[in-house]
């Protein structure tokens, strides 16, 4: 071997050793400390918004603001980050080929690892929908589809040439946020900041308020991916009426918006939202006050039969009766009733949302206090285990039995997404540079 060859081998071995050292992570015996603010959040540092803050938000036609997730709270103590969406009915066009609906408080970005949530105003073209899906995010430890835990939501996918846009403060499309591929509607247990969801506590309607949240799909997906949760999405087989997808979306938006307005009204009635005195409103013009009334008042809701039904709706979350699954399926059921009536399609399919023959003690859970609830838990868990339709992983069968799912090879068509494999937005290796 020549001297030059030996030198070349030594150089190559050095490069390989250097590459191995560069790719090897540092030892973890002395890890760097995490950011103090998020590693040990100060429970006393919650920043409560005032009624004037809410009114200022109400007069802004296209609010866009960044929420500090572990700190920002509404006057009732609930997390600002989980605020329900509102529909701007006065600036929406609900019919015709140019129909659009404008929605506030849509989670369109931010950084969940740093506790940032960007809430924006989104304008949605009603003729842009290409698909509606019922999606389940099962527990990260689930084996197969039949998981006992999970979260259900509705996903609306849009065609590439008719996608929703995020509006800037000037009312024009926000250039720094590209149009949305999809929109997710999700019914959740509304909690204070820094409070994790407890499914056992969720059996009691006294524990959580109910909130209807809207996300850009990619924002919701990122949060679920960070939790290690996959998506199981079932495309819906809806009537071929031309307006079926838009009807499901509008039904979900109306349900969530009516819930949000009634929640704000209940806050004011309970004294949780004290109205400011006249001195605090000196910079609010008559036009501002009219804008605020349109933003919050139930009078702003369109004249729709569903609006009157929502007048009797409960404002609390309850794991079996008023949860993500019952509301997501309830939206589909109401939309089907509307479509079949509007197009004279005969009786609409009926979804078996609640199990048949609920025992009396289970019905009593709606009125059980926290102390009483503990006595019901063993029986409730047994009941849920024996009634597969209540189990999140089996809930798709309610749609299958009603003939609302497409089939592939004799099985319901299912799109499975996981950040380590296939995501709804392509391979991560194509996006992470």
Fill in the DSSP letter of residue 322. B
Q: Distance between CA atoms of 100 and 316, rounded to whole angstroms?
A: 30
CB 63 within 8 A of CB 104: yes
Across the range 7-26, mean pLDDT stands at 50
CB 78 within 8 A of CB 191: yes
Answer with the residue of higher pLDDT: 42 or 228: 228
pLDDT of residue 101: 96
Q: Which of 5-19, 134-148, 217-231, 313-327 has the lowest mean pLDDT?
A: 5-19
Backbone angles phi, psi at 396, to 5 degrees: -60, -25
Across the range 22-48, mean pLDDT stands at 63
pLDDT tens, position by position, 191-205:
999 888 887 777 777
Q: Distance between CA atoms of 33 and 38, rounded to whole angstroms?
A: 11
Is the pLDDT score of 413 beyond 80?
A: yes
Model confidence, pTM: 0.82
Is the pLDDT score of 245 beyond 90?
A: yes
Answer with the residue of higher pLDDT: 43 or 350: 350
CB 74 within 8 A of CB 48: yes
| Virtual torsion, Cα 62, 66, 71, 73, nearest 10 deg | 10
Sorted by where each begins, the domain ranges of the chain are: 43-279+296-431
pLDDT of residue 339: 92
pLDDT tens, position by position, 253-265:
998 888 888 877 7
pLDDT tens, position by position, 350-406:
888 755 544 555 445 444 444 444 444 444 444 444 454 556 777 888 899 999 999
DSSP sequence for 376-424: HHHHHHHHHHH-GGGSGGGTHHHHHHTT-B-EETTEE--EEE-TTS-BT
Q: SS3 for 186? A: strand
The CB-based long-range contact list for 48-55 (8 Å cut-off, 24+ gap) reads 48/73, 48/74, 48/75, 48/77, 49/73, 49/74, 49/75, 49/80, 50/75, 50/276, 51/75, 51/273, 51/274, 51/275, 51/276, 52/276, 52/280, 52/281, 54/273, 55/276, 55/281, 55/284, 55/292
CB 142 within 8 A of CB 150: yes
pLDDT tens, position by position, 247-296:
999 999 998 888 888 877 777 777 766 666 666 667 777 887 777 777 77
CB 182 within 8 A of CB 217: yes
Q: Which of 103-107, 147-151, 206-210, 358-362 has the lowest mean pLDDT?
A: 358-362
Closest CA to 258 of 408, 48, 87: 87
pLDDT tens, position by position, 100-139:
999 999 999 999 999 999 999 999 999 999 999 999 998 7
Is the pLDDT score of 14 beyond 90?
A: no
Is the pLDDT score of 26 beyond 80?
A: no
C-alpha 2: how far from chain center: 68
The CB-based long-range contact list for 21-24 (8 Å cut-off, 24+ gap) reads none
Q: Distance between CA atoms of 166 and 184, rounded to whole angstroms?
A: 15
Q: pLDDT tier at 180 (50, 70, 90 boundaries)? A: very high
pLDDT of residue 215: 98
Tokens at residue 396, please? 């798709």
Q: Distance between CA atoms of 184 and 342, rounded to whole angstroms?
A: 26
């Amino acid at each position: 071997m020549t001297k030059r060859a030996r030198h070349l081998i030594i150089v190559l071995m050095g490069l390989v050793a250097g590459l191995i050292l560069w790719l090897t992570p540092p030892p973890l015996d002395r890890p760097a400390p995490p950011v103090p603010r998020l590693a040990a959040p100060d429970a006393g540092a919650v920043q409560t918004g005032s009624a004037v803050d809410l009114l200022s938000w109400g007069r802004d036609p296209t609010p866009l603001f960044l929420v500090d997730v572990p700190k920002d709270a509404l006057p009732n103590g609930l997390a600002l980050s989980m605020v329900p969406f509102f529909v701007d009915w006065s600036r929406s066009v609900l019919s015709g080929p140019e129909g659009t609906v404008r929605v506030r408080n849509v989670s369109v970005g931010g950084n969940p690892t740093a506790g940032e949530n960007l809430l924006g105003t989104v304008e949605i073209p009603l003729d842009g929908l290409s698909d509606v899906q019922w999606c389940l995010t099962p527990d990260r430890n689930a084996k197969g589809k039949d998981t006992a835990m999970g979260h259900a939501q509705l996903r609306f996918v849009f065609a590439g040439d008719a996608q929703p846009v995020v509006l800037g403060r000037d009312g024009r499309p926000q250039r720094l946020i590209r149009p949305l591929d999809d929109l997710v509607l999700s019914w959740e247990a509304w909690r204070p900041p820094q409070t994790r969801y407890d499914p056992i506590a969720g059996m009691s309607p006294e524990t959580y308020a109910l909130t209807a949240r809207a996300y850009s799909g990619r924002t919701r997906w990122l949060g679920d991916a960070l939790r290690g949760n996959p998506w199981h999405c079932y495309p819906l087989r809806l009537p071929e009426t031309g307006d079926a997808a838009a009807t499901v979306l509008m039904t979900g938006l109306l349900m969530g918006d009516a819930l949000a307005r009634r929640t704000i009204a209940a806050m004011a009635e309970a004294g949780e939202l004290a109205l400011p005195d006249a001195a605090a409103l000196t910079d609010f013009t008559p036009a501002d006050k009219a804008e605020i009334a349109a933003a919050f008042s139930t009078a702003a809701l369109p004249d729709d039969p569903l609006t009157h039904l929502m007048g009797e709706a409960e404002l609390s979350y309850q794991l079996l009766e008023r949860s993500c699954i019952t509301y997501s399926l309830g939206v589909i059921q109401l939309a089907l009733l509307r479509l079949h009536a509007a197009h004279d399609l005969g009786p609409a399919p009926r979804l078996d949302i609640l199990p048949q023959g609920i025992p009396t003690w289970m019905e009593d859970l709606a009125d059980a206090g926290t102390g009483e609830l503990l006595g019901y838990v063993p029986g409730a868990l047994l009941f849920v285990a024996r009634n597969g339709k209540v189990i999140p992983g089996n809930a798709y069968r309610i749609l299958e039995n009603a003939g609302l799912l497409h089939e592939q090879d004799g099985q319901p068509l299912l799109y499975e997404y996981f950040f380590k494999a296939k995501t709804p937005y392509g391979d991560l290796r194509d996006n992470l540079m």
